[in-house]
């Protein structure tokens, strides 16, 4: 799951095998990075189906470019950068054909689950997760991406800036605005319940 660690020996061997044209090595690499890659793509695209399409597309691109991959580099950032390009291309295609508004859309309070009071209670945690999932979908992909990298991948601001090729200040402001929006929308749900 961590993206910035040194590549393990197994990973190096798998990359070497993939360069030699062994397709099953791609399966091994998928097992190593599949879950975090899917989550990352999901964070950008906002739906499982779109993330799965982008996942497959990313691996096709990886296969096409693996000969150019420098073995001394870490594989995960390279893979995630390819996936990021694929995801944003998919978003652009989607916008071109289905001009939907992917900028911030705040759900109405009555669309929110209202029981998020106690995060130590398992039942509430499930509700909160569903609510947060829905709220995350209402954020723009740019905000979702940085929130995911910060809170799910435990990336530092500097790492996020490098991944997303954004200035550090933009990363911080997106994180703040995204988090602020989520917390305030959760609060709207609470006050609606009261």
Partner 1 sequence: MLNKRTSCRKEQDGLLESFLSGGESASLPADLRIHLEGCASCRQYWHNLAVVRSGYPQDPLYSPFLRAKTLRRLANRDQAIRVEWLPLVVLAAVLSLSLSYVLPVWLLSRLFMQWTSSAAVAYGAALGIMLVLGLLVTVASAISLIERGYIHLSNGKGLSNPTETPAMTMLNGFPSI
Q: How far is the CB of 30 from partner 1 (least distance, A)?
A: 5
Q: How far is the CB of 175 from partner 1 (least distance, A)?
A: 6
Among 60, 73, 168, 193, binds partner 1 (CB under 8 A): 60
Residue 140 backbone phi and psi in degrees, to 5: -75, 155
Tell whether residue 1 is a contact of partner 1 (CB under 8 A). no
In whole angstroms, how large is the CA radius of gyration of the chain? 19
Tell whether residue 4 is a contact of partner 1 (CB under 8 A). no
Tell whether residue 161 is a contact of partner 1 (CB under 8 A). no
Tell whether residue 168 is a contact of partner 1 (CB under 8 A). no
The span of 17-25, 69-77, 99-107, 159-167 binding partner 1 (CB under 8 A) equals 17-25
Tell whether residue 96 is a contact of partner 1 (CB under 8 A). no
Distances (CA, A) of 6 to 2, 37, 77, 152: 10, 17, 11, 19
Buried-state track 25-39, b at ≥16 Cβ within 10 A, e below 16: bbebbbebbeebbbe
Among 54, 83, 136, 149, binds partner 1 (CB under 8 A): 136
Tokens of 56: 């497959």
Tell whether residue 80 is a contact of partner 1 (CB under 8 A). no
Residue 163 or 185: the one with the smaller Cβ distance to partner 1 is: 185
DSSP string for residues in 133-186: HHHHHHS-HHHHHHHHHHHTS---HHHHHHHHT--HHHHHHHHHHHHHHHHHHH
Of residues 112, 88, 99, the one with CA closest to residue 181: 112
Of residues 53, 9, 54, 14, the one with CA closest to residue 31: 14
Judged by the rule CB under 8 A, the positions of this chain that interact with partner 1 are: 21-24, 26-27, 30-31, 34-35, 37-39, 42, 48, 51-52, 55-57, 59-61, 63-64, 67, 116, 119, 125, 128-129, 131-133, 136, 148, 150-152, 172, 175-176, 179-180, 182-184, 186-187, 190-191
């Amino acid at each position: 799951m961590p993206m910035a660690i040194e590549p393990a020996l197994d990973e190096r061997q798998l990359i070497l095998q993939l360069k030699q044209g062994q397709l099953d090595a791609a399966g091994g690499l998928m097992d190593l990075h599949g879950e975090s890659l899917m989550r990352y793509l999901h964070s950008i695209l906002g739906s499982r189906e779109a993330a799965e399409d982008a996942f497959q597309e990313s691996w096709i691109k990886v296969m096409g470019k693996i000969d150019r991959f420098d073995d001394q580099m870490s594989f995960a950032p390279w893979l995630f950068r390819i996936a990021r390009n694929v995801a944003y291309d998919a978003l652009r295609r989607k916008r071109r054909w289905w001009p939907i508004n992917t900028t911030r859309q705040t759900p109405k309070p009555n669309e929110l689950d209202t029981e998020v009071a106690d995060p130590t209670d398992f039942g509430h945690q499930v509700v909160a997760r569903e609510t947060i999932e829905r709220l995350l979908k209402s954020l723009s992909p740019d905000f979702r991406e940085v929130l995911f990298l910060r809170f799910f991948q435990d990336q530092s601001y500097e790492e996020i800036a490098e991944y997303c090729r954004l200035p550090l200040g933009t990363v911080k402001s997106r994180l703040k605005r995204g988090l602020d929006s989520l917390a305030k929308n959760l609060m709207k749900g609470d006050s609606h319940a009261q």
